[in-house]
Amino acid sequence: SGTGKTTLARIVAREMDANFIEINASTTGTKELKEIIEKAKDKFFGLQKETTYVYVDEFHRWNKLQQDSLLKALEEGVLHFIGSTTENPYFAIFNAILSRSTIFEFKPLQPSDIREGITKAVNRYNRENSENIILTEKAADVLAFGCGGDMRKAFNALELLIAAAGFAEGEKVIDEIMA
């Protein structure tokens, strides 16, 4: 979680200048997928000649029948599939889909990456809000090491700390005691 899977899917689709549809397997079923495929066929075989990238988050939640409903569209080139799972894909995704896929493994982010992200977030917050929130070195380390490699968790914690710092009088410092 929080390693950039969805962000990368969005970047790929944008760079390919393609139609991009993002769904979550926990809330989307076969009926909705078939509607997406029909619209993608219209774009692919119609005047637009546009490719559609469909990103299915939590793909492991779909059963074999739901996963198989992608096959024909993948074989025809109507859809380009990007799926993400927090499970082992070799156990959670059926072979017919795996054989048409490239697997990328995302590892938890390093504390140095988390530290860089939260430092940039504080700087951006200060610019956009004309604030002067100060994140101490030790506080940044506490956040970077305490979030388990999950940038989203670090951003959520930082958001709470910034809100708490907003109540302070004078200089607004986030230190290791707050973090």
User: Which amino acid, 168?
Assistant: A
pLDDT tens-digit map of 158-167:
999 998 887 7
Q: Between 151-165 and 111-129, two packed helices, what is the crossing angle to 10 degrees?
A: 40
Q: Is 170's pLDDT higher than 70?
A: no
Q: Is 59's pLDDT higher than 70?
A: yes
C-alpha distance across the termini of the chain, in Å = 21
Q: Between 151-165 and 137-146, two packed helices, what is the crossing angle to 10 degrees?
A: 140
Question: How confident is the model at residue 68, as a pLDDT?
Answer: 93
Alpha-carbon torsion (59, 62, 23, 68), positive or negative: positive
Question: How confident is the model at residue 18, as a pLDDT?
Answer: 87
Instruction: With 0.85 as the threshold, say if the pTM is over it.
Output: no
Give percent of the chain with pLDDT exceeding 70.
Answer: 97
**Phi, psi (deg, nearest 5) at residue 152:** -60, -40
Question: How confident is the model at residue 121, as a pLDDT?
Answer: 96
Triad 144, 177, 129: Cα angle to 5°: 70
User: Which amino acid, 146?
Assistant: G
pLDDT tens-digit map of 8-50:
989 998 898 888 999 999 999 999 999 999 999 999 998 888 8
Number of helices (H), then strands (E), belonging to the chain: the values are 9, 5
